[in-house]
Structure 1
């Protein structure tokens, strides 16, 4: 029997997750991407890959929190099934603030309390004093009088994951075509295979409300710093996160800037990010800057993702905003339900199935 065929546009995070899942289901999988195998032009390559639905709950909708909680449980299963090891950590996360920004800490705490009433079983957080803070992160050297501790949150290494997904998808027979951009109109309507559009901002022609939200990230090698978990430093302009990875590498970034500017990291942002890191731990002063990256995340007007079924052949997955790694397993499982059965209970549960207006694919 001829295998059913799936065409995937875009080899970023969602493209690779779906390519591997479809290949495991016995589909003949072809993946087209406009760049090379490292996908350095994708949001997934630049991301910090924090799995922090509770921390994000202060500024996002309930369905995204629900997807994040679902995905936090799914990630260990997905990673365990890969043939190549991927750094995964679930030591919780910390929210800290300097004395002059105490009002930001109070507001964050009150928002967490509101969310806890909606998700009481899954939602744990704790306001801690500097004594417990220094038990959790003894290198913070009493810099903060209090903090918020979210014990179940996690993170992973985005680039290790992207590599592992690619290797396994190819092992299962998926074919990847690099430097081969494709549009929906490149495939005849008479074809019977499914097309899964995961191009992010590359789908602007077919999903017209898409916009880019800029994120700026600095990777630093800092062997003097020994943080055990991601830390968010509340800041008047925007929260700044510091995520420790393997081998003394730290990802320092800002969560969002409303701009589609794809140019290099600005001097202002670099100063803010590095100053924030230094204010957290003086050991960053002797660190080494490995790279500075700026990238735009694909976002819709409500900053929520969609699974858009254009017709019986075309499914678009987009709008992951800054939550890509946090919610992608939920989107993967919902998309696979739709690919296999043409409908998805999960997509309905998460309120992500959409009939959003889109441009013609002709």
Structure 2
């Protein structure tokens, strides 16, 4: 079976992998001229289904609990399994209790254990939650690794091209996100900043709870930290606003004051496609299967959506084969 995957974001790359591993001949067409630059490029890369359950529906936990295993198998060496730490200032302990009541898979940690797990946070927080089974990855490194793995499997990539530039496929997978033109989608703008400082070390993503502006900080390599992210109902892809920058940096400094002296390496904006219920969908439209609506859970839910899409493609093909066999049997009779 020849399958065209439209879009080389996290949905497209994971779909291509699932199809290729099942024996399909896969081609990926991406309108961008290189890997990256889409919403996936500015993601946090947190594989945190238990934490996300605080504001998401149960399917996010159900679909995302195996994501770390999938990424580990598809991109060996890219996943860090150190859990997630959730903390709050003493005055915001109510936020911590609310978070705990809405989630599972955590255990409570006191000031001494916080200092043991994250020495640079010693003395800054008295109570927290540790989600030990969660993980994280660097989205850009993971996407590059997945691209290389796909190329090794014989997947063809066409950058700077849309679906009209290639033809002759049995099925198509539409992973174009906001560009799909689906009127049911809304855009959720996420702004982020990458900071560089040798004065802070973190072993895992840390979420700082605040009643107005909760924040997460995800460690990268080379003393870099991804700080995010806003959630603004907007399709605008313009630069990070001054208000958002001030809030992100202020919250980062509340986590550790050394972030106040950090270098701002990069700012970025990603517009994430979301349906009204904030849950993704895999839908068949004739010979095309669409994956969309990953919202803020791209790297967490893309593997499960890719599996569903591949299941649907191959079940459609099998149904077609059975129909031909039935017609052939009738003609023989």
- 1:154 maps to which of 125, 132, 135: 135
Q: CA RMSD in A?
A: 2.0
8 Å contact from structure 2 (residues 110, 126) kept in 1? yes
Does the residue aligned with 2:67 lie in a helix, a strand or coil?
helix
1:75 deviates by 2.4
Q: Which 4+ stretches in 1 moved above 4 angstroms?
A: none
CA-to-aligned-CA distance 1:301-344 (integer Å, 9 cap, x gap): 10000000112x11000000000111111112222222222399
Query: Superposed, which structure 2 residues align to 1:156-235 within 5 Å?
Result: 156-182=137-163, 193-204=170-181, 207-235=182-210
Q: Is 1:240 matched up with 2:215?
A: yes
Q: Is 1:17 matched up with 2:14?
A: yes
Whole-angstrom CA distance in 1 between matches of 2:116 and 2:129 = 13
Query: Superposed, which structure 2 residues align to 1:2-81 within 5 Å?
Result: 4-40=1-37, 42-80=38-76
Q: 1:331 to 1:237 in 2, by over 3 A?
A: same
Whole-angstrom CA distance in 1 between matches of 2:34 and 2:137 = 20
1:254 deviates by 1.7
1:271 deviates by 1.0
8 Å contact from structure 2 (residues 15, 310) kept in 1? yes
Whole-angstrom CA distance in 1 between matches of 2:299 and 2:256 = 26
- 2:310 maps to which of 331, 336, 361: 336
Q: Tell which deviates more after alignment, 26-35 or 88-97.
A: 26-35
CA-to-aligned-CA distance 1:37-80 (integer Å, 9 cap, x gap): 2321x111010100111111111111111011122332222223
8 Å contact from structure 1 (residues 5, 194) kept in 2? yes
CA-to-aligned-CA distance 1:238-281 (integer Å, 9 cap, x gap): 42100001221100002522222211011111111111111111
Whole-angstrom CA distance in 1 between matches of 2:257 and 2:36 = 33
- 2:245 maps to which of 270, 285, 290: 270
Whole-angstrom CA distance in 1 between matches of 2:148 and 2:84 = 30
Whole-angstrom CA distance in 2 between matches of 1:293 and 1:279 = 21
8 Å contact from structure 1 (residues 238, 254) kept in 2? no
Which structure 1 segments of 5+ residues have no match?
117-123, 345-362
Query: Superposed, which structure 2 residues align to 1:351-362 within 5 Å?
Result: none
Q: Tell which deviates more after alignment, 302-311 or 280-289.
A: 280-289
TM-score normalized with structure 1 length: 0.83
Does the residue aligned with 2:272 lie in a helix, a strand or coil?
strand
1:218 deviates by 0.4
Whole-angstrom CA distance in 2 between matches of 1:160 and 1:129 = 34
1:192 deviates by 5.8
Whole-angstrom CA distance in 2 between matches of 1:226 and 1:283 = 10
TM-score normalized with structure 2 length: 0.90
8 Å contact from structure 2 (residues 36, 140) kept in 1? no
Query: Superposed, which structure 2 residues align to 1:273-352 within 5 Å?
Result: 273-311=248-286, 313-342=287-316
Whole-angstrom CA distance in 2 between matches of 1:103 and 1:258 = 27
Q: Is 1:107 matched up with 2:98?
A: yes
8 Å contact from structure 1 (residues 337, 343) kept in 2? no
Number of corresponding residues: 318
1:187 deviates by 8.5
Does the residue aligned with 2:289 lie in a helix, a strand or coil?
strand
CA-to-aligned-CA distance 1:185-216 (integer Å, 9 cap, x gap): x899xx66101000010112xx2201110101
